[in-house]
Amino acid sequence: DSHMYYKSSFYPEVSRTWKEYWLDLTKDPESHTVLPGAHRKMATIYVTFDFPFYGHIVNNVTIATGGFLYMGDYLQDYLNALAAKQYAAPLLADFDTMSNPNSSIRYKDNGTALTVQWDQVVIHKRTDLGSFTFQLILKNTGDVLFVYKDVPVNIRDINDNKHPVRVGLYDAYTIEKTLFYEYSTGEEYEDAYTVDPDRHMKSFNGTDIGITNPTEDSHMYYNSSFYPEVSGTWKEYWLDLKKDPESHTVLPGAHRKTATIYVTFDFPFYGHIVNNVTIATGGFLYMGDYLQDYLNALAAKQYAAPLLADFDTMSNPNSSIRYKDNGTALTVHWDQVVMHKRTDLGSFTFQLILKNTGEVLFVYKDVPVNITDISDDKHPVRVGLYDAYIIEKTLFSIITDDELLTLSNILLYLDEKNPFATPLISLQGKTRSGSQEDLARQPLFGPQTASEAVVSGTSRLIKDLYDNYSPEVNNNEQVTQQHLNEEEAFFQAVLATEPMKRVVALLQSRGLLPTNNRNLESILRTLWFERFSRSRGSLGSSGFEHIFLGEVKNAEPSGFHSWLYFKQQEEVGSLDYLGFIRSAKLSGKASLLELPLKWKGMYKPVNSMFVGTSPELEMALYTLCFYARPEAKCPMNGNSVKFFIQTYPFKSRGKVYLGTAYPTFR
């Protein structure tokens, strides 16, 4: 995987690669022990070399019992460090060193590398899960290594209700609580990573302020400027959404809830494009792709926070959260929100504005108290932009090969009840890739299936789509309302089927798809049906068209992985079956076939497709593999025949589409 600062490589345990890096600190007399008999505690140490972390130098790190190093300059309690500023986490979880007498945390700095070892640590109050042993290594080159010796359970079995569980590198561009302070000497802010909140500062309570000049700060991606209330600058940016009939209300009467919306423009956030944002009652926008619950979003992945605090819209009848997207800017307005169970602090009104230029504006109308008076014991309180390079929990909880093999076999068995009779196919001559010799005098599909009525469910609805597309990818698709209606009818029918329901439920259980139905449908609709450009900027392709029909680019056919369309094209005389390369029976009704073909005079040397399967089964399996094994072979099983599905994403305009998907024997 790759990122602006880091490239990651994963080596499975069976490769034994971990032994090359493992340094057993329990046997090293030069190592040091920290945090004995502790839970949710931290210890800061000095690093003897300059360690580059997200483009800035770190010399102090804070070791936490919870399986991570806090990399920031602000020293704070464990829970606030968790709420995600800057850390490196080989396995962040609720570990302690008090429940197991053999537990320890040790470190060694040899001048060019720092090694930290969590040895036989256990999950607090869950010693039954066993002990975990792993290391983190920071090298002076900037390399970060996570090395695992003992991980006794799949980490998806670790409860994250009271403590996040994740793996990865996190960095935050943060304007700490000190946003509302200024040095009494009038000097500018230091770098956001090194501001010392204990220096002599002047308080800003929202109305009484002595700052007369804006201050500035800089970062790899963002330059920040702060304008005090007395400057009146906020009025230039304020858009009162309460009076705007084109704005939309979200999260009424809510606490610790989120709502995801689509942004109509491409918003660049830390160098990557964002098109979906999640509005939270707690005064922030979650900017990440993984949709999850409020508390996990808090535990700091990617967000923009004008004022992150424990707000609700239920304690004050005048509270509201509204948003408006005008095509070039998104404005989100928290109006008269109050602190949960602290209405005595007054109501807060502020806005966040995202511009298509990448600018982020925080605008404050009413901040009734100094935010240092807001307790952060149970909920973090902060202001700023945060981005995380994250290896999500799904690194360890991805769907296993055994699960894929089992589910595919079950779905193929269940699909035997589809409305088709067992297809009568005539394989005829066996050929090879690259041969255009016609070794099949007859069509692939025999006469009984050539006239088979496609009468019910998705099999009828998919036939309605065949004349909606132009196969030439260089041409813009001519989309009518009737086309959209037919697509939607087919899409909704597929979602309602048992194969798709089972696949979606599994992907949702692993955090790979959202649980909110509206968000789910939006993602899958984009994945399968939204038009994108494969050539010359023309919106001439979609995942569905490529896979379930076929496309032409530079006089060469591509896609064409549906047996129903293959049969239909044989019937109208547009397709010539030349023979088969390989075939296998996957169930009482389904087969997998590899073959060359000639379509409208154009030759495709190797093509593959299921035969006898329903459209919903095929879409379900392709969707499953797109998320479970993106850009990799996805193992499948049918009737004890092992095969694979290969998928590839197509990224364009900040979105991810299904570029192609097909079954294969290899």
| Residues marked as catalytic | 546, 561, 604
Which tokens go with 414? 């269940």
Kind of pairing between the strands at 166-175 and 311-312: unpaired
Cα–Cα distance, 42 to 441 (Å, whole number): 76
Give Cα 139 to chain centroid, integer Å: 28
* Rounded-to-integer distance, Cα 600 and Cα 151, Å: 56
- 17 to each of 148, 379, 626, 649, how far by Cα in Å? 10, 40, 28, 30
Q: For 96-135, b where at least 16 C-beta lie within 10 A, e where not — what string? A: bbbbbeebbbbbbbeeebbbbbbbbbbbbebeeeebbbbb
Cβ–Cβ < 8 Å for 602, 555: yes
CB 470 within 8 A of CB 540: yes
Give residues with Cβ within 8 angstroms of 516, minimum separation 6: 260, 291
Please, what's the b/e burial string for 186-211 (b: 16 or more CB within 10 A of its CB; e: otherwise)?
Answer: eeebeebbebeeeeebeebebeebeb
CA distances from 179 to 113, 225, 229, 305, 460 (A): 35, 11, 13, 12, 61
Is the separation of the CB atoms in 253 and 281 below 8 Å? no
| Cα–Cα distance measured from residue 50 to residue 64, given in angstroms and rounded to the nearest whole number | 21
Alpha carbon distance 534, 553 (integer Å): 9
- Structural tokens at position 132: 């975990």
Query: Which among 435, 665, 663 is positioned nearest to 563, based on CA atoms?
Result: 663
